[in-house]
Amino acid sequence: MGLSLKTADSFDEVMRLYTPTVYRIAFTRLKNAADSEDVSQEVFLRYFKANITFQSEEHRKAWLIRCAVNCANSAAGSAYARHKDNSDDWEQLADSEMLSDNVTEENFERGERRKTVLDAVMSLPPKYRTVIYLFYFEDLQTDEIAKATGLRGATVRSQLSRARELLKKILGEAEL
Amino acid sequence: MSFKDEFKQEMSKISPTEEQAARIRDGVYKRLSEQPKPTKKRKTPLFFAAAVPAAAALLGIFVILRFSLNNRINVNENIGNTGNAGNTAISDDKAADNDTAPSLSGQDKSEFTSNVSSEMLGGEQKNDITVGLCGTSCVLFADGEKRVYQLSARANTPPEGMLSAQTENGEHIFVQFDEKTLTVYFPKNRDVLLFKTAV
């Protein structure tokens, strides 16, 4: 039996469950909170209108991820996105943590370190950022990433490999 | 801490706040509640809208004129050579409808005309027979009588026993007529015209 969601409650549940995932995918691509919110709205709007009967929760998640990737790519390709000055919102997270009242030396070091990791990832080309996010954060296999992004499996593996190489250069770590 | 754990830990902070999540949810519901705007039917650019029918019309006119003029020119040549008004249009269809007139073309026609002589056609000289062609009408003056005929068809073969006559311009022709029909043969351009009494 499928998992078609048409009632408002279940739609709420889907939004509650997947908003962070969709938002992060958009943020990884766009590096901007407001744009990521817009993309999230668009994704759930499409989800509701599509009225698809999903065979499993993984199927639903894969659909939402793919939709989020596509919407984020579209948003990034818009004239507005190409001409606006992207402020790197993620930097504010580490900064806010370091500037908070209970900053300790350990927190400060942790903040610097995290900022460096995020800096490294966010400094990658967009296509690599998405692959890295899906692989390391969503724990998707390359084949699953391929399905979610519409790329070929070999392309995903190639992008992942190149992204790792770049990250190694930036972070100076032997293994990722 | 591995890169993966560190990355996860950091990325988990990039999560919509309650306020952001509420904005997303409200935005979705707001957009869902909005009545779908009637999609504007995209107007076909005027150029294309006008160009297609215009092109079709022009093509149609061209085709009609092409065949119409062809027929007109053919007949005009025939009748014009008789020295009469050359604005008569005879449809080839009429000629085709004439079952008794097999089609002649090219070599057949030349063979036919080379064998035709005034003797074969009768050769009875009646210089008092005059034919006047005007448009689709034909006026026959014979033995002091005047008869008016209307062009009805074109044939390929002149009948036997035709009388020698002349047009009002002095061109030598052959005719065969009775009260209802008139057949005129123009030896110069090998054309045979069939006329019927004007109603």
* B53 to chain A, closest Cα gap in Å: 38
Mean pLDDT on B66-75? 64
Considering chain B, what is the average pLDDT of its residues?
73
Q: Which position has the higher pLDDT, A20 or A52? A: A20
Of the candidates B73, B75, B110, the residue with the CA atom closest to the CA atom of residue B94: B75
How does pLDDT run across A114-167, given as a tens digit for each residue?
A: 557 888 888 888 889 999 999 999 999 999 899 888 889 999 999 999 999 998
Which tokens go with A161?
A: 């490999």
Q: Which of A156-160, B28-32, B39-43, B82-86 has the lowest mean pLDDT?
A: B82-86
Comparing A152-166, B7-21, B100-114, B164-178, which segment has the lowest mean pLDDT? B100-114
Helix (H, G, I), strand (E, B) or coil at B107: helix
Residue A22 pLDDT greater than 90, yes or no: yes
Strands of chain B (E only): list them: 122-134, 137-142, 145-155, 162-167, 172-177, 181-186, 191-197
pLDDT at B72: 56
Chain A CB contacts of B28 below 8 Å: 15, 41, 44-45, 48
How would residue B188 be classed by pLDDT, with cut points 50, 70 and 90? confident
pLDDT tens digits, one per residue of B150-167? 888 888 888 888 888 888
pLDDT band at B107 (very low <50, low <70, confident <90, very high): very low
Q: Is there a contact between A76 and A39 (Cβ–Cβ < 8 Å)?
A: no
Q: What is the pLDDT of residue A112?
A: 54
Check pLDDT > 80 for residue B117: no
Alpha carbon B22 to its chain centroid, in Å, reads 73
Q: Which residue of A has its CA nearest to B22?
A: A16
Specify the CATH number of the domain A8-83: 1.10.1740.10
What is the tens place of the pLDDT at every residue in A146-160?
988 888 999 999 999
pLDDT at position A83 is: 64
Binary contact (A45, B28; C-beta < 8 A): yes
Q: Which residues of A touch B14 (CB under 8 A)?
A: 23-24, 27-28, 90, 93
pLDDT attached to residue B170: 84
Rounded mean pLDDT, B84-92? 43
- The minimum CA-CA distance between A82 and chain B, rounded to whole Å, is 23
Residue of A nearest to B34 (CA): A45
- Beta partners for residue B131, in sequence order: B140, B167
Question: What pLDDT is recorded for position A132?
Answer: 92
Half-sphere exposure of A134 (CA within 13 A, CB side): 30
pLDDT tens across A55-109, in order? Answer: 888 888 889 999 999 999 888 877 666 666 655 555 565 555 544 444 455 555 5
Specify the higher pLDDT residue, B105 or B170: B170
Task: Check residues A40 and B146 and name the one with the higher pLDDT.
Answer: A40
* Cβ contacts of A27 on chain B, cutoff 8 Å: 14
Radius of gyration of chain A (CA): 18
Residue B199: HSE in the Cβ half-sphere, 13 Å Cα cutoff: 1
> Domain residues of chain A, as ranges?
8-83, 90-171
Write out chain B residues lying below 8 Å of A93, CB-based. 10, 13-14
pLDDT at A157: 94
Q: Which fold has domain A90-171?
A: Arc Repressor Mutant, subunit A (1.10.10)
Q: Assign B58 a pLDDT band (cuts: 50, 70, 90).
A: very high
Task: Compute the average pLDDT of residues B60-86.
Answer: 62
Asked if A70 has any chain B CB less than 8 Å from its own CB, the reply is no
Low-confidence winner among A27-31, A46-50, A123-127, B101-105 (lowest mean pLDDT): B101-105
Q: What is the pLDDT of residue B32?
A: 83
The chain A residue lying nearest B8, using CA atoms, is A137
pLDDT tier for residue B197 given thresholds of 50, 70 and 90: confident
pLDDT at residue A39 greater than cutoff 90? yes
**Is pLDDT larger for residue B177 or for residue B122?**
B177
